[in-house]
Structure 1
């Protein structure tokens, strides 16, 4: 009984002595902010998605027409200096074409077939972009899936965007600390929040009038975000 009483008396004393230790382990006050930076540059490469679609009564004829036009387009691209590594077939399809809505409880019937051949082209000389588009349209391309601009080397632009993001985060942290009457301390941690490519911010002037399809390249940009934690100074 006396041993149990001793244990019971020592336990509350140990808990009391542990309270200051817990208090010392509390994390120091800090400020957590995020920053964002965007850097822009004139693009130096374009990617085009285009193709040809043809319909015929039977599948073989539809595919033959599409293949013939597709071969003509590929040959023209080679003549214009587009390297084979910059041209890739991105879609090849063949689908039935159904007759109109059924009448008198009759099931719809296949009235023909539609074949489609789509290619993705990377144009590394933007001065020839309008001519390339005009040429493939003349050769029978009847479907344009999209046109986008980019950079052959985006690393320098990404570095600039990351630096701007850090600057933005530091300015925000200073503003919060000053508003709260605090002193901003050193950086405790920094982590990347991610990167993205926004839509072009502005458009440049149209290409020369002698180009068959006028295009505007505008500017391409990269946005980077960062998360930072700052200590609160004394």
Structure 2
């Protein structure tokens, strides 16, 4: 009897409203990207010294002597102390190669010290790199270009993205023969700034007046919008 009541109750339960989704307006989801190209006005240089010696102490001492010359060269190039930062300091063992089945052993130690320096005068960037190498830096890991303040360019990129989104929405509406309603959703999925980088291998010497081209940076912002499709 109890089972019969349960079954009967199940039979008289109202069905879920199948037309609930039909009441919602159609949607057109789109994305657009706005870009602005600007000229860099600063750069960061990563340089340092790699030294090897029989002991860790000897490797570090030799590295410290060379790095003091690197710091002096940066200061002579007009780089302020607050714009110089140690970005990597390591001491690692140097191992022998496998030979005739013999076990590997430590044959010495390698000390690495890398600093990152901000260069505001791009016209002196090549001379600064030359000065670093001449002072004893035997490793230039890269030169990255940037801008001190990209807020105005990023604002313009956002405006360009909105204009592009509206153009795309009108284009699709005309092509599909539909009428757009209001904007239901809007979001910014993020922006990025590809930074041109000049890479250098480990260096023993470098010709004077090293040419470095800053090129241009791209400020990019991507937005997403969902439009209602009018009945």
Q: TM-score range by the shorter chain?
A: 0.7 to 0.9
Q: Which residue of 2 aligns with 1:181?
A: 177
Q: What's the CA shift for 1:128? A: 1.2
Structure 1 residues 175, 137: closer, same or farther in 2, change over 3 A? same
State which of 25, 36, 47 in structure 2 corresponds to 1:28.
25
Partners of 2:25 and 2:230 within 8 A in 1: no
> 2-side partners of 1:126 and 1:24: how far apart?
59
Task: Structure 2 unaligned segments of length 5 or more: list them.
Answer: 1-7, 197-206
Please state how far the C-alpha of 1:27 moved relative to its aligned partner: 1.4
Q: Are the structure 2 counterparts of residues 26 and 113 from structure 1 closer, same or farther at C-alpha, using a change threshold of 3 Å?
A: same
Deviations 1:69-99 (A, max 9, x none): 1011101211221111111111111111112
CA distance in 2, matches of 1:78, 1:63: 22
Contact kept? 2:145, 2:195, Cα under 8 Å: no
**1:1-234 → structure 2 map (5 Å cutoff):** 15=14, 23=20, 26-103=23-100, 105-198=101-194, 200=196, 212-234=209-231
Counterpart secondary structure, 2:23: coil
Deviation at 1:199, TM superposition (A): 5.2
Larger Rg: 1
User: Per the alignment, in what secondary structure is the counterpart of residue 108 of structure 1?
Assistant: coil
Aligned length: 212
Q: Deviations over 1:27-75 (max 9, x none)?
A: 1122111111111100011011111101111211111111111011101
CA 1:155–1:211 in 2, change beyond 3 Å: closer, same or farther? farther
- How much is the aligned-residue C-alpha RMSD, in angstroms? 2.4
Query: Equivalents in 1 of 2:14, 2:105: separation in Å?
Result: 85
Q: Distance in 2 between matches of 1:91 and 1:232?
A: 56
* Whole-angstrom CA distance in 2 between matches of 1:167 and 1:139: 52
Structure 1, unmatched stretches of 5+, are 1-7, 201-209
2: CA distance, partners of 1:211 / 1:171: 51
Moved over 6 A (4+): none
Aligned counterparts of 1:43 and 1:185: Cα–Cα separation in 2: 42
When normalised by structure 2's length, the TM-score is 0.83
- Deviation of residue 150 (structure 1)? 0.5
87-96 or 186-195, which moves further after superposition? 186-195
